[in-house]
C-alpha cells in the first residue's frame, strides 16, 4: 500500500462515526472483489486486514497433493513447503498474492464497494442516533426549497419538512435557520430519512418544556395540547406542587416565557388551561374566556351539552367555531354549545311532550329531561329499579311510566310498518295503472297496422292478376 491504512481507518471512523470493524470489513470485501476480478472468481481467495503491516492481505488457498491435476486449486508438496515447511499432503495452505497492481477496473470496483459500505454504515449510525430523538426538537438550516417540501441540513444528515408541516403563511429561504419537531425517522434504500414538523401539537409542548424549568424538573406536567397552527392553540398543564401556580410558571414574568414561544410560532395565540380531574370543570376551563352556566354529561356517547348565557355564546364558540373545536380536541369530548334561550325553547317542547305522552308531572318530566331521558326509547330501556334511583318515585310508578314508553314505541313501530305498507301498495297501484295504458296503445298501434298490411297485399296482388290474365288469353 502507498499510504498508512491504519491512519485512514482511524480518521474515517472519527469523521463518520463508524466503528473501526465496519470499515475494515468493507475494505476486506472491496479488495477481495477486486482480486477476484484480476485473478479469477473461481479461485479460493480470502482477504485479511493486517494491522501490523497496515494493509489488506489476499491469500489464495490451495490443497497440497502428490500429483497436481488442477493447478488453480492444487499444489504439489515440494512447492508447498516453500510457503510452509511443515505442511503435509491434504493440508490447505494460503499463498499471499500481490495486490499492488490490481488494475484500474479492479481498483474502481474496490472504491465503489468501500464507498457504498461506508455510506450504509454511516446511514445506520445516523438512524440509530436519531431514532432515539423522535419527538424531540432539532434546529437546522434550509438547504433547498423544492416543490412540496423543504430540505433541512442538520449537519451530518438532512431532514425533510413538507409544506403541510410548516405553519401556514410562513416561508423560508436558503440558509435560514429553522426549528422543528422530529416527527418520524425512517430507514430506506437511500439512507436515513428524518421528517420534521412545526404544526404538530408535540412541537408546542416541547417548546414549553424548553422555556419552563418547572416542566423540565417535573413539577409541572403538560397534560395535552391542541392547535390550529398559526392561529390559536390550547395547552393544559397541572402542578404537582400546590404552592406553584402552573399558569403563572408557564406565562413567566411579564409574559416573557410564553411570548418567546408565540414568536417562534409566528404569532400563534396560546391559551394555557389548568387541568382538572373533574372532566366537567376541565371542559369549562378549556372554553375560557367564556363563562359556562350549565353542563350536561352524556357518558355513553362521550359528549357534553354546554349551556351559556346568550351574551357568552359567540365567545364560547369562537371565530368560525375555533374555540369549541380546540376545546373538543384537547379534552377528547364531543362538545355541543347552546344559549340559555335556545335551550329553554327546546327543553320546554321536550318536557311538554313527555308530560303529554307519558302522563307525568312537569317536575318529573324536567328531571327526566335533565338526565338525558328525553325520548320514550331511552326510558323504555330502563328497569323500574334504575328509574327509581334517578327519579326517587316509587317502583310501581316507574314501572307504569316504562310500560307507557314501551307502548308508545310499539305504536310508533306499528305506524312505521303501516306507512311502509301503504307506500308499497301505492307503488303497486301506480304500476298497475300504467300497465293497461301501454297495452291499449299497443293494441291501437297493432290494429292500425294490420289493415294497412292487408291493403298493401291486395294492391300488390291486383296488378299480378291483371298481367297474368291477358297472357292466358
Instruction: Give residue 436's pLDDT.
Output: 56
pLDDT tens, residue by residue, 312-328: 999 999 989 999 999 99
Q: How many CB atoms lie within 10 A of CB 268?
A: 18
Instruction: Give residue 460's pLDDT.
Output: 45
- Cell digits of residue 177: 435557520
Asked whether residue 447 carries a pLDDT value surpassing 70, the answer given is no
Instruction: Give residue 438's pLDDT.
Output: 47
Alpha-carbon 396 to chain mean position: 54
Q: Report the distance separating Cα 82 and Cα 98, nearest Å.
A: 17
Lowest mean pLDDT among 28-32, 336-340, 387-391: 28-32
Domain layout of the chain by residue ranges: 5-126, 134-197, 207-341, 375-449
Instruction: Give residue 166's pLDDT.
Output: 93
pLDDT tens, residue by residue, 324-345: 999 999 999 999 998 988 878 8
Q: Report the distance separating Cα 222 and Cα 204, nearest Å.
A: 10
Q: Report the distance separating Cα 110 and Cα 123, nearest Å.
A: 20
**Interaxial angle between packed helices 384-391 and 362-370, expressed in degrees from 0 to 180 and rounded to the nearest 10:** 100
Instruction: Give residue 15's pLDDT.
Output: 67
State the pLDDT confidence band at 463, using cuts at 50, 70 and 90. very low
Please compute the mean of the pLDDT values over residues 44-54 and round it to a whole number: 81
pLDDT tens, residue by residue, 50-84: 877 777 788 888 888 888 888 888 888 888 888 88
In total, the chain counts a number of residues equal to 473
Please compute the mean of the pLDDT values over residues 39-58 and round it to a whole number: 81
Burial class of residue 148, CB neighbours in 10 A (0-12, 13-18, 19+): exposed
Q: What is the DSSP string of 455-469?
A: HHHHHHHHHHHHHHH
Asked whether residue 116 carries a pLDDT value surpassing 80, the answer given is no
Cβ atoms of residues 292 and 264 within 8 Å? no
Asked whether residue 281 carries a pLDDT value surpassing 70, the answer given is yes
The closest alpha carbon to 13, from 5, 23, 2, 28, belongs to 23
Instruction: Give residue 2's pLDDT.
Output: 41
Q: What does pLDDT average to over the chain? A: 83
pLDDT tens, residue by residue, 208-229: 999 999 999 999 999 999 999 9
Lowest mean pLDDT among 46-50, 133-137, 298-302, 465-469: 465-469
Q: Is the peptide bond before 289 cis (omega within 30 degrees of 0)?
A: yes
Instruction: Give residue 464's pLDDT.
Output: 43
Instruction: Give residue 392's pLDDT.
Output: 85
CB within 8 A of 48, min separation 6: which ones?
28, 56, 57, 59
The residue among 191 and 135 whose pLDDT is bigger is 135
Q: Report the distance separating Cα 403 and Cα 409, nearest Å.
A: 10
Largest CA distance in the chain: 139
Query: What is the CATH architecture of 207-341?
Result: 2-Layer Sandwich (3.30)
pLDDT tens, residue by residue, 228-255: 999 999 999 999 999 999 999 999 999 9
Query: What is the CATH architecture of 5-126?
Result: 2-Layer Sandwich (3.30)
CB within 8 A of 323, min separation 6: which ones?
232, 287, 290, 315, 316, 317
Percent of the chain with pLDDT over 70: 84
What are the distances in angstroms from CA 1 to CA 78, 94, 119?
31, 20, 23
Asked whether residue 103 carries a pLDDT value surpassing 70, the answer given is no
Asked whether residue 4 carries a pLDDT value surpassing 80, the answer given is no
Q: Report the distance separating Cα 48 and Cα 94, nearest Å.
A: 12
Name the phi and psi angles at 257, rounded to 5. Answer: -70, -50
Please compute the mean of the pLDDT values over residues 173-185 and round it to a whole number: 92
Domain spanning 134-197, CATH class? mainly beta
CB within 8 A of 306, min separation 6: which ones?
283, 284, 287, 292, 294, 295, 316, 335, 336, 337, 338
CB within 8 A of 382, min separation 6: which ones?
373, 390, 398, 402
Name the phi and psi angles at 300, rounded to 5. Answer: -60, -45
Instruction: Give residue 165's pLDDT.
Output: 94
Long-range contacts of 287-292 (CB under 8 A, 24+ apart): 287/316, 287/323, 287/324, 287/327, 287/335, 287/337, 289/315, 290/315, 290/316, 290/323, 292/316
pTM (2 decimals)? Answer: 0.61
Q: Report the distance separating Cα 105 and Cα 161, nearest Å.
A: 41
Amino acid at each position: 500500500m502507498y499510504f498508512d491504512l491504519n491512519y485512514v481507518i482511524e480518521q474515517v471512523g472519527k469523521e463518520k462515526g463508524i466503528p473501526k470493524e465496519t470499515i475494515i470489513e468493507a475494505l476486506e470485501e472491496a479488495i477481495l472483489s477486486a482480486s477476484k476480478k484480476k485473478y479469477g472468481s473461481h479461485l479460493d481467495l480470502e482477504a485479511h486486514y493486517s494491522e501490523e503491516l497496515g494493509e489488506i492481505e489476499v491469500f489464495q488457498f490451495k490443497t497440497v497433493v502428490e500429483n497436481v491435476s488442477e493447478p488453480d486449486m492444487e499444489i504439489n508438496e515440494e512447492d508447498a513447503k516453500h510457503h510452509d515447511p511443515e505442511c503435509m499432503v491434504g493440508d490447505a495452505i494460503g499463498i499471499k498474492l500481490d495486490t499492488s497492481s490490481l488494475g484500474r477496473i479492479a481498483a474502481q470496483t474496490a472504491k465503489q464497494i468501500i464507498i457504498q459500505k461506508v455510506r450504509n454504515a454511516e446511514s445506520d449510525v445516523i438512524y440509530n442516533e436519531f431514532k432515539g430523538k423522535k419527538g424531540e426538537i432539532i434546529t437546522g438550516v434550509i438547504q433547498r426549497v423544492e416543490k412540496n417540501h423543504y430540505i433541512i441540513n442538520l449537519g451530518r444528515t438532512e431532514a425533510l419538512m413538507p409544506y403541510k408541516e410548516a405553519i401556514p403563511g410562513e416561508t423560508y429561504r436558503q440558509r435560514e435557520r429553522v426549528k422543528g419537531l422530529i416527527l418520524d425517522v425512517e430507514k430506506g434504500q437511500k439512507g436515513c430519512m428524518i421528517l420534521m414538523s412545526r404544526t404538530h401539537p408535540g412541537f408546542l409542548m416541547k417548546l414549553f418544556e424548553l422555556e419552563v424549568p418547572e416542566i423540565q424538573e417535573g413539577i409541572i406536567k403538560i397534560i395535552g395540547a391542541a392547535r390550529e397552527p398559526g392561529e390559536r392553540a390550547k395547552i393544559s398543564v397541572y402542578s404537582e406542587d400546590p404552592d406553584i401556580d402552573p399558569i403563572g410558571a408557564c406565562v413567566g414574568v411579564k409574559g416573557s416565557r410564553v411570548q418567546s414561544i408565540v414568536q417562534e410560532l409566528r404569532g400563534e395565540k396560546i391559551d394555557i388551561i389548568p387541568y382538572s380531574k373533574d372532566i366537567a370543570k376541565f371542559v369549562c376551563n378549556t372554553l375560557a374566556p367564556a363563562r359556562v352556566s350549565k353542563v350536561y354529561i352524556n357518558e355513553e356517547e362521550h359528549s357534553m351539552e354546554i349551556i351559556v348565557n346568550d351574551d357568552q355564546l359567540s365567545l364560547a364558540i369562537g371565530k368560525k367555531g375555533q374555540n369549541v373545536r380546540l376545546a373538543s380536541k384537547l379534552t377528547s369530548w364531543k362538545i355541543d354549545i347552546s344559549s340559555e334561550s335556545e335551550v329553554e325553547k327546546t327543553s320546554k317542547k321536550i318536557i311538554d311532550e313527555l308530560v303529554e305522552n307519558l302522563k307525568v308531572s312537569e317536575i318529573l318530566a324536567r328531571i327526566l329531561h335533565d338526565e338525558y331521558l328525553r325520548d320514550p326509547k331511552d326510558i323504555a330501556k330502563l328497569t323500574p329499579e334504575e328509574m327509581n334511583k334517578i327519579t326517587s318515585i316509587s317502583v310501581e310508578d316507574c314501572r307504569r311510566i316504562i310500560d307507557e314508553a314501551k307502548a308508545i314505541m310499539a305504536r310508533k313501530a306499528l305506524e312505521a310498518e303501516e306507512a311502509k305498507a301503504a307506500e308499497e301498495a301505492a307503488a303497486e297501484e301506480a304500476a298497475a295503472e300504467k300497465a293497461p295504458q301501454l297495452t291499449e296503445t299497443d293494441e291501437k298501434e297493432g290494429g292500425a297496422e294490420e289493415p294497412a298490411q292487408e291493403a298493401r297485399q291486395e294492391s300488390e296482388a291486383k296488378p299480378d292478376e291483371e298481367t297474368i290474365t291477358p297472357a292466358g288469353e
